[in-house]
Structures are given as C-alpha cells and as structure tokens.
C-alpha cells in the first residue's frame, strides 16, 4: 500500500479548489496543488488532505465507494475508504507516456473508466471495483486536439475538445467505440459537457459550454445511425440546438 502524505486542510494562498465530487456523507475536492481534500458534510469538518499526484489534478469523480482522480501526470488513481476517516490508494490506471489526462468518467455500474488525453485520444479501461483485473481495452483517436471534457448517457459517450467540436460515440461489442456524429457550433474550445435523460423519442439532452460565453442545449436521438469518422456534418437532421447567451 502506498504511503499517503497528509497535509493541511486549508488551501494555499492563490490555489483554487476546482473539482468536487460527492460520496456518501463526504465531499472530495481536487486542486491544482496536487491534493485531494475530504470534508464531512454533516459538520463541514475537513477529515484529511492528501497529496495524491505528481502534477495538477484535472478530473475527479466518485462511483461505488471509489473516488477517481485524473492528473496531468498521466495517471488515473482510485481511492477508497480505509479505517474510519482515511483514504487509501486502490489502484492506478496508466495513460499514454508523457500525455496529460484531463478528465475521468465512470460508467454507472463502475465497470468502465474513461480518460481523455492531451494527445486527442480517449482511453477506456474495463475491470472490477477491486482494481485487480483492470485492463486497457480501448484507445480511440477522438479529436485532432486536446480532449477537455467527456460525459456519458448509457451506451453513449460524448467528448469535447479544444478543436471546438463535440463527438458522439456509441459503445459496441468488444469495447469498441463507434463515432455516430459530430456537433459543431461553438466558436471556442468546449469547456463543459453534461448529458441528461429526455422523454423525447428516447434520446437525451446534451449541454455544452465554452469560452465563447454560451451554453448550448442539444437533443441527441438514441437511434442515431453510425457515420463515417470523416463525416464532420453537424447532425442537422439528428440534433436540435438552442443557445443561451450569457449577459
């Protein structure tokens, strides 16, 4: 078991606690100072502050009792409760060499973990919650530039990039990801993505935000047919959008 370095719960001056995830009765924060901080929600007491990576923490998500952290050091780490108030390292998922990992998402059943890299690749791991059988099963060149954000809705994954586009992917047999569409419309890099269920024809809503100061809402039908990877159409017949411009 890796030795954990426990630090102060207070954030250094100028350091922002930029990432948040909730797990049971605690809230976990990740920061540019490479630490994971855990607070008890009932009394807002900081339980611990741990240096968990060798570089900036870029992504944080909780699933089935495990907190996953993604970092610019090229690793995704899984953290679980050990004892009453402490977190222990459960496992490490390695990305591409010398490539930053900007995000991490986990499937609802906890069997799939995906990360997005600074080389434009999406990487997928399949395994069990105990980290004993995790293996890299998918490496997909998703964008020509950095992958900044990802989200998922059932068997569909969505990726947003510095190249201003959003790609829609469907998980197929044998862990393959097939591109089913590309959405364009933002004038800057895609900074935020979030999917939400919709009762409209069995599809889902996709919310995207970026540096052009807009939030766009897209409707994605689940019966979207597979498209060629070189088809960069904006899915005009399949995706409807509306834009809310910020004041």
What confidence category does residue 4 fall into, taking pLDDT thresholds of 50, 70 and 90? Answer: very low
Tell me which DSSP letter residue 140 carries.
E
Tell me which DSSP letter residue 174 carries.
G
β 75-82/66-71 pair status: antiparallel
Task: Give the pLDDT mean for 112-130.
Answer: 90
Give the three-state DSSP class for 173.
helix
What confidence category does residue 18 fall into, taking pLDDT thresholds of 50, 70 and 90? Answer: low
What confidence category does residue 206 fall into, taking pLDDT thresholds of 50, 70 and 90? Answer: very high
d(CA 151, CA 121): 15
Task: Give the pLDDT mean for 75-102.
Answer: 86
What confidence category does residue 147 fall into, taking pLDDT thresholds of 50, 70 and 90? Answer: very high
What's the pLDDT tens digit per position in 153-199? 989 999 999 999 999 999 888 778 999 989 887 888 998 999 998 77
pLDDT for res 237:
40
What are the distances in angstroms from CA 72 to CA 20, 77, 118, 245? 17, 12, 9, 32
The pTM (predicted TM-score) of the whole model is 0.79
pLDDT over 80 at 58, yes or no: yes
Q: What contacts 109, CB < 8 A, 6 or more positions away?
A: none
pLDDT for res 23:
66
Residue 245 burial class via C-beta count within 10 angstroms: exposed 0-12, middle 13-18, buried 19 and up: exposed
pLDDT over 70 at 226, yes or no: no
Strand stretches in 17-100, DSSP E: 17-23, 26-31, 35-40, 45-51, 57-63, 66-71, 75-82, 86-94
> Percentage of the chain surpassing pLDDT 90?
36
Strand partners, 179: 169
What confidence category does residue 114 fall into, taking pLDDT thresholds of 50, 70 and 90? Answer: very high
Give the three-state DSSP class for 122.
strand
More confident residue, 95 or 128: 95
pLDDT for res 247:
26
Tokens 């599809």, residue?
203
What average pLDDT is seen over the chain? Answer: 79
Task: Give the pLDDT mean for 220-239.
Answer: 51
What confidence category does residue 3 fall into, taking pLDDT thresholds of 50, 70 and 90? Answer: very low
d(CA 183, CA 193): 12
Task: Give the pLDDT mean for 68-87.
Answer: 85
């Amino acid at each position: 078991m890796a030795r954990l370095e426990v630090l102060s719960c207070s954030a250094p001056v100028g350091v922002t606690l930029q990432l948040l995830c909730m797990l049971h009765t605690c809230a976990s924060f990740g920061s540019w100072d490479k630490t994971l901080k855990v607070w008890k929600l009932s009394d807002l007491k900081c339980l611990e502050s741990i240096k968990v990576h060798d570089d900036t923490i870029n992504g944080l998500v909780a699933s089935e009792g495990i907190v996953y952290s993604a970092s610019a050091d090229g690793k995704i780490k899984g953290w679980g409760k050990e004892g009453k108030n402490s977190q222990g390292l459960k496992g490490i998922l390695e990305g591409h060499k010398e490539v930053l990992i900007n995000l991490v998402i986990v499937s609802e059943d906890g069997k799939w973990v995906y990360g997005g890299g600074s080389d434009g690749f999406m990487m997928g791991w399949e395994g069990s919650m105990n980290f004993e059988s995790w293996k890299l099963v998918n490496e997909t060149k998703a964008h020509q530039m950095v992958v900044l954000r990802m989200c998922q809705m059932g068997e569909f994954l969505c990726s947003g990039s510095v190249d201003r586009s959003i790609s829609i992917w469907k998980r197929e047999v044998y862990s393959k990801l097939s591109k089913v569409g590309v959405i364009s419309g933002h004038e800057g890099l895609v900074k935020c993505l979030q999917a939400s269920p919709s009762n409209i024809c069995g599809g889902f809503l996709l919310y995207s935000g970026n540096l052009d100061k807009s939030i766009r809402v897209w409707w994605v039908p689940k019966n979207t047919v597979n498209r060629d990877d070189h088809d960069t159409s904006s899915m005009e017949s399949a995706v409807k959008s509306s834009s809310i411009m910020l004041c």
